[in-house]
């Protein structure tokens, strides 16, 4: 008994194989080994020994002639380069499924013992350290390069997933209609390449535009792509995490009319807290004192808070400038101070959409060529 105490005080280290067989940390490994009939890895590999090569690879790099039979429970092989882990070949290191469970449960096939410490058989870094405290030696897990790379990949994938979820939430909040979610630069229809390039550059420099509170004032008749370009910008900004809103003064005025007087100011403040606001179809709201004053209040609030605005209207600048309403003229003046005016005169886009609509109806109704007599005949 006395000799054993002296040996412990001297700092003798217990072999890793005995610690694995007795430590509760490797309980799951011992159970799996008992069921499979295999024994733990207890060989001691000297520094001069050759590195263990996985069975899937040969030293010459040639694949074996006979491939192993694929069973139902076989784990799927991973690609050589997994997104999120550049320059790290997981397949080369013998892993078939890269998750946090890959490194749980004790030694991985190919691990070896060196200098009394368990090392990873693929990155050759220690996986456990032995620490003696109060005459007791315990094994404490540490991260090897493989496990550290796996954790970084999982964290990167989790971050990207959270960004996608946040972008979808911003997009659901910003867009009033679901079909607008496909109006982005990746799915551009090519109808207005010049306007699309302007919208793309505005989205790329939005950080500077937001700091200055500058937006766009888009003029053009129906069908020239004003709303389409504005929604493209919103979708691009939602992917970046900005909080946007696509609405119209007509919808805002109707909502204010249905609210109590005490809640109207809070509703206007909530609108003006967005990073970008798109006011579609400007000029279609009713010309009343209540409507004009609330429109002016919203524009002034966005102006004071440096909130960028994108305004679309089907009215020409000449018609808007000829107005005699003092309140509307004041709101229009504030918009022109912060918004750059662009006139969209893409008549070809409008004609193309009309032709596509007519062709779609002819295919639906089965009309080969529209007869003149039947077309001019009364319906009833």
In DSSP terms, which residues pair with 133 in a beta bridge?
136
- Cα–Cα distance measured from residue 329 to residue 253, given in angstroms and rounded to the nearest whole number: 18
Report whether 344 contacts 225 (CB < 8 A): yes
Write the CB contacts of 149 (distance below 8 Å, at least 6 apart in sequence). 85, 88
Are residues 121 and 110 in contact, defined by beta-carbon separation less than 8 angstroms? yes
Question: Do residues 150 and 49 touch, judged by C-beta distance below 8 A?
Answer: no
**Calpha distance 236→125 (Å, rounded):** 44
CB atoms within 10 A of CB 144: 23
User: Could you give the CA distance from residue 366 to residue 376 in angstroms, rounded to a whole number?
Assistant: 18
User: What does 328-377 look like in DSSP terms, one character per residue?
Assistant: HHHHHHHHHHHEEEEE---HHHHHHHHHHHHHHHHHHHT-SS--HHHHHS
CA distance 217 to 231: 14
Q: What is the pLDDT of residue 376?
A: 44
Give the three-class secondary structure for 266: helix
155-194 pLDDT, tens digit per residue, is 888 898 999 999 999 999 999 999 999 999 998 888 788 8
Statement: residue 326 has pLDDT above 80:
yes
Tell which wins on pLDDT, 141 or 262: 262
CA geometry: angle at 46 spanning 40 and 50, to 5°? 90
Other beta carbons less than 10 A from residue 16's beta carbon: 27
Q: What pLDDT, on the 0 to 100 scale, is given for residue 298?
A: 95
Residue identified by tokens 């540490």 is 142
Which residues are CB-contacts of 59 (< 8 A; sequence separation ≥ 6)? 53
267-271, Cβ contacts within 8 angstroms, sequence gap of 24 or more: 268/294, 268/297, 268/298, 268/301, 269/301, 271/245, 271/247, 271/298
Residue 226 pLDDT > 80: yes
Asked if residues 191 and 232 have their Cβ atoms less than 8 Å apart, the reply is no
Give pTM, 2 decimals.
Answer: 0.64
Query: How does residue 300 score in pLDDT terms, banded at 50, 70 and 90?
Result: very high
Average pLDDT, the chain: 75
For 7, 136, 234, 309, the CA distances from 10, given in Å and listed in that order, are 5, 12, 70, 76
Task: Report yes or no: 153 and 84 within 8 Å, Cβ to Cβ.
Answer: yes
What is the C-alpha separation between 224 and 359, in angstroms, rounded? 20
Q: Which residues pair with 137 in a beta bridge?
A: 132
Q: Are 267 and 303 in contact (CB under 8 A)?
A: no
Handedness of CA 162, 305, 326, 253 (dihedral sign): positive
Task: Supply 78's token pair.
Answer: 């991973």
The answer to whether 281 and 250 are in contact (CB under 8 A) is yes
Nearest 5°: CA angle at 342, between 337 and 343? 135
Q: What is the C-alpha separation between 5 and 135, in angstroms, rounded?
A: 8
Backbone angles phi, psi at 320, to 5 degrees: -65, -35
Pairing between strand 276-279 and 309-313?
parallel
Q: Is the pLDDT of residue 208 over 50?
A: yes
Q: Does 319 have pLDDT greater than 60? A: yes
When mean pLDDT is compared across 186-200, 300-314, 348-362, the lowest value belongs to 348-362
Higher local confidence (pLDDT), 218 or 151: 218
């Amino acid at each position: 008994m006395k000799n054993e105490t002296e040996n412990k005080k001297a700092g003798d280290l217990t072999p890793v194989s005995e610690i694995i067989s007795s430590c509760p940390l490797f309980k799951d490994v011992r159970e799996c080994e008992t069921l499979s009939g295999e024994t733990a890895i207890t060989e001691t590999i000297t520094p001069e020994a050759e590195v263990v090569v996985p069975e899937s690879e040969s030293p010459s790099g040639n694949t074996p002639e006979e491939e192993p039979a694929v069973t139902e429970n076989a784990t799927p092989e991973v690609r050589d380069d997994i997104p999120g882990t550049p320059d790290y070949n997981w397949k080369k290191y013998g892993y078939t499924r890269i998750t946090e469970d890959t490194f749980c449960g004790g030694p991985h096939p190919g691990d070896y013992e060196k200098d009394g410490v368990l090392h990873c058989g693929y990155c050759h870094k220690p996986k456990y350290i032995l620490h003696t405290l109060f005459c007791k030696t315990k094994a404490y897990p540490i991260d090897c390069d493989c496990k550290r790379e796996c954790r970084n990949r999982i964290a990167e994938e989790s971050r990207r997933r959270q960004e996608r979820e946040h972008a979808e939430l911003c997009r659901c909040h910003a867009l009033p209609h679901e079909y607008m979610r496909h109006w982005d630069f990746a799915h551009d229809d090519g109808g207005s390449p010049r306007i699309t390039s302007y919208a793309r550059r505005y989205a790329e420099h939005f950080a500077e535009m937001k700091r200055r509170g500058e937006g766009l004032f888009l003029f053009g008749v129906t069908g020239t792509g004003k709303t389409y370009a504005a929604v493209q910008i919103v979708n691009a900004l939602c992917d970046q995490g900005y909080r946007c809103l696509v609405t119209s003064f007509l919808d805002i005025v109707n909502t204010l009319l249905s609210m109590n007087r005490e809640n109207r100011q809070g509703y206007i403040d909530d609108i003006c807290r967005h990073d970008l606001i798109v006011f579609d179809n400007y000029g279609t709201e009713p010309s009343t004192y209540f409507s004009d004053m609330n429109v002016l209040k919203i524009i002034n609030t966005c102006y004071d808070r440096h909130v960028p605005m994108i305004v679309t209207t089907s009215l020409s600048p000449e018609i808007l400038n000829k107005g005699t309403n003092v309140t509307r003229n004041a709101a229009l003046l504030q918009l022109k101070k912060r918004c750059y005016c662009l006139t969209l005169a893409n008549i070809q886009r409008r004609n193309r959409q009309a032709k596509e609509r007519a062709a779609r109806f002819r295919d639906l109704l089965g009309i080969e060529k529209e007869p003149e007599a039947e077309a001019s005949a009364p319906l009833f």
